[in-house]
Amino acid sequence: MRRKPLREQVIVVTGASSGIGLVTARMAADRGARVVLAARSEAVLARVAEELGDRAVHVVADVGRLEDVQAIADKAVATFGGFDTWVNVAGLTVYGPLREIAYEDHERLIQTNLWGTVNGSLVAVEHLRKRGGALINVGSIASDLAFPFQGLYATSKHAVKGFTDTLRMELIAERTPVSVTLVKPASIDTPLPQRARNYMDREPTLPPPIYPPQEVANAILHAAEHPQRDIIVGGGGKLFVVGKEFAPGAYDELAPAVIALQKRSESPRNPQGALHTPRDAGNERGDPPIYVMRTSAYTRATLHPLATASVLAVGLAATAAVILGTRRKPVRR
The CATH number that applies at residue 236 is 3.40.50.720
Mean pLDDT confidence for 227-250: 95
In a domain, 268, yes or no: yes
**Has residue 236 got a pLDDT over 70?**
yes
Q: Band of the pLDDT at 189, cuts 50, 70, 90? A: very high
In a domain, 132, yes or no: yes
Cβ–Cβ contacts within 10 Å for residue 293, how many?
18
Mean pLDDT confidence for 156-183: 98
In a domain, 240, yes or no: yes
How far, in Å, CA of 254 to CA of 71, rounded?
44
In this prediction, residue 317 carries a pLDDT of 52
Question: By three-state DSSP, how is residue 11 classified?
Answer: strand
- Calculate the alpha carbon distances from 140 to 134, 295, 314 in Å: 19, 17, 33
In a domain, 22, yes or no: yes
In a domain, 70, yes or no: yes
**Has residue 328 got a pLDDT over 50?**
no
* Domain count for the chain: 1
User: Between 83 and 308, whose confidence is greater?
Assistant: 83
The catalytically annotated residue of 153, 199, 211, 298 is 153
Active site residue 153: yes
Mean pLDDT confidence for 123-137: 96
In a domain, 329, yes or no: no
Q: Band of the pLDDT at 2, cuts 50, 70, 90? A: confident
How far, in Å, CA of 329 to CA of 165, rounded?
53
Q: For 259-299, how does the pLDDT look when each residue is reduced to its tens digit (9 = 90+)?
A: 999 999 999 999 999 999 999 999 999 999 999 999 999 99
Q: For 277-287, how does the pLDDT look when each residue is reduced to its tens digit (9 = 90+)?
A: 999 999 999 99
In a domain, 91, yes or no: yes
Q: Which domain holds residue 171?
A: 6-304
How far, in Å, CA of 249 to CA of 242, rounded?
13
In this prediction, residue 304 carries a pLDDT of 84
Q: For 18-54, how does the pLDDT look when each residue is reduced to its tens digit (9 = 90+)?
A: 999 999 999 999 999 999 999 999 999 999 999 999 9
Q: For 153-166, how does the pLDDT look when each residue is reduced to its tens digit (9 = 90+)?
A: 999 999 999 999 99
**Has residue 56 got a pLDDT over 90?**
yes
In a domain, 130, yes or no: yes
